[in-house]
Amino acid sequence: MRAPTAANDLLRFARRIFAFGVRRRFVPSSPAADFTPRLDGGGTERPRRRALSTDELAQLFEKNRETPNFGESNLLAMKLLLALCARKGELLGATRAEFDLEGGTQMGAVWHLPGSRTKTGESLDIPLVPAVVEWLSALRTSASGSDYVFQKRRRDPRERVAHVGRDTLNAALKRVESRAPMTGTITSTSAAQRSSSGPNC
């Protein structure tokens, strides 16, 4: 359940906004200064421990394939999230230059994920199995010369990112959910979020 995290994030943002107002003398004091996430927000945040079962994974991909216009690149993104245990932003923002698909290293084919794009700030070398190399090669073929593995699919007037937007995959999964909801307690969108979590690896 994401409610504690969302409530705590909202409280933190509110405190920052009021603190900015105090510094700029827009307000004399912050009404949120004494609030704490534990007592006034969502409480203690616990790491997610729910992992997808084999049956849920099979159901997810079956419904993805059954949904018109879900798209091959979205399907490959889902496969890569599961295979690489990467965060969605790390994968969708990956450049072609980060990947050695020819296996020219001691590790063979590898993804050199720079620390500037990881949550911990540490760079990672992620080995790539043959199936992953095949999927990435297919994406490279369809990239039309883009520097990114997942190229931008439509013009963004605000030019927020140079690659496919982070919400694009969620939007595709919401179409899946509206057309053919998954059975049980998990939705297609939450399945995507869990697909890039460690317990699935």
Cβ(172)–Cβ(70) under 8 Å?
A: yes
Cβ(33)–Cβ(16) under 8 Å?
A: no
Over the stretch 129-164, which tens digit does the pLDDT of each residue have? 999 999 999 988 876 678 888 887 665 555 566 777
Domain ranges of the chain: 3-40, 54-200
Question: Which of 66-80, 111-125, 146-160 has the highest average model confidence (pLDDT)?
Answer: 111-125
- For residue 188 the two structure tokens come to 């297609």
Does domain 54-200 correspond to CATH entry 1.10.1200.10?
no
Residue 167 pLDDT > 80, yes or no? Answer: no
| Mean pLDDT in residue range 53-79 | 86
Q: How many CB atoms lie within 10 A of CB 124?
A: 16
Q: How many CB atoms lie within 10 A of CB 86?
A: 21
Residues with Cβ within 8 Å of residue 127, at least 6 apart in sequence: 107, 108, 109, 110
User: What pLDDT is attached to residue 195?
Assistant: 53
Spatial distance between the Cα atoms of 124 and 126, rounded to a whole number of angstroms: 6
Top pLDDT among 97 and 57 is at: 97
Spatial distance between the Cα atoms of 18 and 136, rounded to a whole number of angstroms: 46
Indicate the Cα dihedral angle 69, 73, 78, 81, nearest 10°: -160
Over the stretch 44-58, which tens digit does the pLDDT of each residue have? 877 666 677 888 888
Top pLDDT among 45 and 10 is at: 10
Q: How many CB atoms lie within 10 A of CB 115?
A: 11
